[in-house]
Homo-oligomer: A and B are copies of this chain.
Amino acid sequence: MTTGPVPAPSSPAGPSPAARSLADPDTPFAVVDVHRVRRNAARLRARADRLGVALRPHVKTAKSLDAAALLHDGTPGPVTVSTLAEAEAFADAGYRDITYAVGIEPRKLPRVVALSRRGVTLRVLLDSTEQATFVAAAAREAGIALPAQIEIDCDGHRGGLRPDAPGLTGIAGILHDAGCLDGVLTHAGESYFCYTAGEQREAARNERDAAVAAADRLRAAGLPVTTVSVGSTPTAHAAEDLSGVTELRAGNYVFFDLVMAGLGVCDLDDLALSVVVTVIGHRPEYGWIVTDGGWMAMSRDRGTAVQPQDQGYGLVTDLSGTPVPDLVMTAASQEHGTLTARDGAALPDLPIGTRLRVLPNHACATAAQHQGYHVIDGSVGTRAHTPGIEAYWPRVTGW
């Protein structure tokens, strides 16, 4: 379903009413390059079109109605959410087709039922007889269908049942009897550790095969399967054949990050999220430049620590987004970041008050440290200037 109005862009005012450029808001703050978001969105939309599947972006990374509006060419199309707070915020904005991709538990059912009664097709996820039984009971009690998907484990990464698990058809049967069986969903979590294009293609093939095998098994048992959902940012960008799959999910691609660049899924030029920080000190005896952006601004996520190229807490660029060669954020306390030069390179001369941007390891985690984003358009003007702020996009918070 893609009906309903496009969410209106937020006011450019936001919390810094006077902010006109990246020189204005007090640091640290998160900045999003809308040009890169549009480009990242168009790239995956084109892939999904070519592969003949629907695209259901996961909005957990940006948690922003404004960012999500760009993922479907302006329409409130199908989305995936990681919290019921996201589901409610997107429902309020006109979204009517939402998958809540975290295993359901009984206490959350009243909010699921309430969303369904508002006309939202809210798909829940489960992988046990226990869950299928209480979802079916809740649907019967409420007198409505609560569409449910069975989580399939394709690579031993997190939740789900293997496609050949003995309990699979029993769970589907319980759901079907209550009018709740929607389909199957899997997520190739292990693809975050695939460092070659070949491994990523293989992970995508494996993910597709697991979902389709589970769907085929259910159909062979006479159980109708509507949705066959796969996706992760790496596999969504690597899949070559999604026959039998109905929809593709991915979330991180809206911003991308150093982990994804380290996997080769994107280039550094695709990273749409960064954090603006200010130099507040120097420790030449240690080779340190100290900034006011610590883990409170960047998160504690060190996803690249397990990659061939460890990027510390992030790579440093100037305010226009041009990388400062060999400068890495290597340590963080709550409100202090330490920048050092890589491999014995000279430390650049950056006086106190200099503003820089830091590209994060993990966009989902860094974005979560902020209440919203100052938005720039990196396609405007030359890269030599201080980018102007076009808008402020608030985030959905809480659960």
Contacts and interface: CB of A to CB of B under 8 A. Distances in A.
Interface of A: 15, 26-29, 60, 82-84, 102-108, 111, 127-128, 130-131, 153, 156, 158-159, 189, 278-283, 286, 290, 292, 295-297, 299-302, 333-336, 338, 351-353, 362, 364-365, 368-371, 397-399
9 contacts: A27-B107, A103-B290, A103-B292, A130-B352, A158-B290, A159-B281, A159-B336, A299-B299, A371-B397
Consensus secondary structure, chain A interface: loop
Given A283-B159, A292-B103, A399 B84 contact: no
A335 to B, nearest CB: 5
Given A105-B352, A127-B281, 17 more contacts: A26-B107, A26-B399, A28-B399, A102-B280, A104-B280, A105-B353, A106-B353, A107-B278, A130-B352, A131-B281, A156-B286, A159-B281, A159-B290, A296-B368, A299-B299, A300-B300, A370-B398
B368 A369 contact: yes
Contact of A364 (B83, B102, B159, B334): B334
Interface centre among A295, A369, A397 (most CB of B within 10 A): A295
A82 B332 CA distance: 14
B60 A334 contact: yes
A145 to B, nearest CB: 21
B333 A189 contact: yes
A8 to B, nearest CB: 23
